[in-house]
A and B are shown apart, each in its own frame.
Chain A
Amino acid sequence: MAEGGSVPVEASLNSPTDLSERVPAPEQGKLEKESKRRQRELQKLILRMAAVSEKQLNRHSHTERFAGDKKAERREEIIQFLKRAGISAGVGAAVAFLLGTAAPVAGAGIAGGIIGSNIGRLLVDWRKNKSKIGDQTVVEREHALEDDVVKFNRQAVGKLQSAAKDCLSSVLNSGEAGPESLDAKKMRTAATRIKKEGLGQIDRSALFGFIDKLTEVQQQTSEAHIQSKSKELKGIRRKWGWSKFGASLAGGLLFGGAAAEGMTHFQHSDLMEKAQSVLSERGIEMHGGGLMHQPGVEGMTAENARIWNGIYEHLRGHEGHNVHLHEGEVVFDVKAPDLDSLADAVEEYPQLANNIATTQQAQELLGLSNMLGQGGMERLLRALADKVEQGQQAMHTMGGSMTKEAFLHRVAEVAETQVDGYTTEALVGVGAGIIANELVDNITTVRSPRDDLRIESGGLKELAEAASAYKGRTAEQTQDASVSSGGDSDGSGLLNHPGPPLPPTSPSGAGSASGADTGELISPATGVKPERKKKTDADNDGKEVSDNREDQRAAERERAAREWAEKNDYEFAGRLPDDRERFERYLWRWRPLDSRTGGGKILERLARGFYDYTQFNIAIEIKGKHYSLERHDYVGVGSWTRFRLVPLDSKEKSQSVSLKKLAALKPEFWFIKKEGLFSHSAPQESTEPPPEPPISDNPPLSGVPRPAVAEAYVEAPPPSSGSESPDESVPGSPVAAGPVAALSPAYSLLDSPPPSDERQPGELSPEEPASFERANAEEAAREEAKIAAIDRAKTAFPSGMYEAQEDLIAIIYHESFPARGKRGRIAKDARVEIKGDYAFYAPDRIATTAFPSEWTSIDDNQRHTDGLVYITFRSGELESARRQLKLVSTTEESPPPVLELSTAPPTAEPVLAPAPGQPLDPAAIDVLLGGAEASKAPAPADQQPQDSEQGQS
């Protein structure tokens, strides 16, 4: 018995911090440090608890009815009244008891009083738990379990814990990207590792330790998340922080029990005994487990209160029902009979459904209950769901609503979760519990004013995702299926567009690598492509819930993005893919259906320099912030392309980013300015040094100046709001020389060959601006033409690789295409076709010598990804190409035939130019195949030096 404040306690009392008495000398320093840390933390906690209690008391509504001075006065009156009632004296006695400093007799008397009290439920429970379980008392059973844990291979526990941390880490590293970015492979690896460690040989009670630790890690994770919440939530945290500690621990224990018991075919009663015992040991159940009615909830009538009190009185009068008062609330503890009783009560008194909230523990118990096949909680929830529905209240999730059927379906899924394997069961147990937790939270969030419940659940998000990702990655959800079957339902063609066509992932892809082509569609909500894997029952519940939550969040973000767009004169254009590879492809290959954009690959052209100094009226959203996306500087294409991000929400400095960096920033949405996609602007003086081009296998040619890009545009007028309607431009006018002229190469490349009139290269006809619409309409025809060209090329080069692009109808390479990093010969059978605005060629040493750099560029990035080299032309280059390009075939077997292309004036009809959408002229094929007759005129002398200077090496 305690006396004098220093009663020695046996080690079995599990004193957590008296390390100095038990630790070897060599580690004394460390332990002293640790001891001091613990002292510090506990002292902080004690002080905080005092402060919290003070605040709670002060915030109590008993003074709300009074105003001003009267309020404080009345409060003081009541407090004094309480003190006069001997409360302080009572507390003093309790503290004496608490501290162990009371005299033995007094202590025993108090203890006896406690045990005899109807309210001292903890001690009653303890007494009850001393009853026998089989041949063992509860305590003996506990010790046996503990021994099992002690005997457990601690190294394996460590590995288990490490694996758990890995799981969490993989989730944390995914940031806010959502479940699709979870490192499911890592999760599986971790789980596999656990299995391989032979943990299946271990007594299931060992999982207590594991789950305990797992929960601790989760708790810390939760702390980090909560910390990031607003200050508004801090108050709630302060109020409930300490109870969370216990709740978390309890969750771990319960989950561990659930998992363990799940493995042993749901031995319910045994588990419940253990859980109860351990909970009692931890003291958890003393501070608010179970379901409680909410006196503060709106709608809590006196009648309801009366009913609740009746229920309370009823329950506590029956053995097996645990119920007590907690801070004025009726708290029903975790035993199954209470759930049934409560369900009865709800069925009898439907209005009570609106006064029920659950604590985290109870929510966790949903998972436990279902894991055990115990119907009490489910029945209660079903009753709640019925009442909620009767009340015409949807069971709201954070961003939407869930039908009763869906809710019950998920509950059933949780209950039915069965996965082979010991460790799997553990993780699934955690996941199932938390998923259930989230489900209940979906109910309580709406009706409970106690946001802490929501926070508690939110803190478990990571673990839920981790567990669900672990077991859920093999499923294709119904939800995904519906996504896959969806389409451009709203006709916008943007958000629901199945995704941009992707560059081929293999040389033979030939443009068929888009998600649509491969039958893999992209979720309009997440912009990601679901994995198609084998579906199992166990896969559905966790992933569905986490995906559902992610979709909700995504929907909220999208709503916010749309609002922002509306307020800032932008149009919401859609969601960008959230992984880098797809994002890059998206930017490069984006093919909007919106006619305003010209129906082409706008960003690609932007990057490639078609729109020099043209303001690109696109904004993107990165983590809730908005930036205009401008081309920073022309340095080529692919990885050399840089953009400037100009903050729109603040006056922060703009930054120059590469495409890869831009992708890494994970922009989520993009917007097009309402005034039009383009507006012209003079080159902006950058305050930043020009970006250094990345190291490349194909560096820019030395000695070649940067192209004097679109000089004619520099003098152009400022951006015109009418740029969206280029029809207004008058050919030859300054306006036409501005943005419209900047577009002309694109038109000439994509929409139609230059007409054979007096127009100058790059100049639009009055009709051409209208080809925004026409471009879309003609695209199919162009595709057909490209396919036809490829077919012919295949005939000519059966060993080659073929690809069709918009800017290059086909690029044909010999199969000897070198591996990345090897500069040199690309193809023996090099051929170039200049056909109108299209070119075929495959020159030797393409990056260094064969072509003058000022009019060619190499998409080195794409070469890396799909094995092809793309050569693109910038504004005005084609005319130069016509004059300068020498087709070079540098086969070793034969001297390179030189084909000098047409030197016809720029306005002349290109030698091989087809009409838009028409197949190649047979003559072009002749050229393609090496015939020189089609274009024989020698290049002008003044165009030759570059060739001679650069020559071939």
Chain B
Amino acid sequence: MKILVTVKRVIDYNVKARVKADNSDVDLANTKMALNPFCEIAVEEAIRLKESGAATEVVVVSIGPKACQEQIRTSLALGADRGIQIETDTMPESLNVAKLLAKVVEVEQPGLIIMGKQAIDSDNNQTGQMLAALLDIPQGTFASKVELVDEKVHVTREVDGGLQTVALNMPAIVTTDLRLNEPRYASLPNIMKAKRKPLAVQTPEDLGVQMKTHTQLVKVEAPTERKAGIKVNSIEELIEKLQNEAKVI
């Protein structure tokens, strides 16, 4: 069985994000970038499935400018077998990503598609779901456990009320939650080997996908700085403040 894993290049989780002076976006110029942590968990899960003998090949795909090859190489260093970069000038929005991925799935015919549940930059949490809809295949989102049982994939999902386990026909989409696994560090020999693993570059045109704009980024603002707390003298004052200042009740 082949596993397709999607990976995204995002701002490193250790870096404090800065907003551009004109509030048009987050300033990413010369900022440290990294593999999206949820994607890293997806790569790890795929590699574990391969190591257990359940999968035969792990293919990673990323969409973006040439720089995202770095994240593909990182995934290859972790143990994926080959990479596909779909070259775009900017990071496309989720629906375009899902459409591009749908084409890749058509070509690659994976038995399982593992994706991060969301990217820590835009926090949309929608690409996996969109891809499932476009392909009309089952999805198991927010996975904290993935098991292959007979011809199905059992996905334990983290839902508000606790854990829910679903059995999905394959091919299926799994989106990873934080507690699915703890990703390994890439070893030096594997980083060396990753340099020679195949990495194919395609364009949206190659895949016959026309990129459309569905949303517009209007404004980005830094969160307001947290103010110091105050002590209230009575319950009445507290309720008054909650009603009129915080406007939460």
Binding partners A and B: no
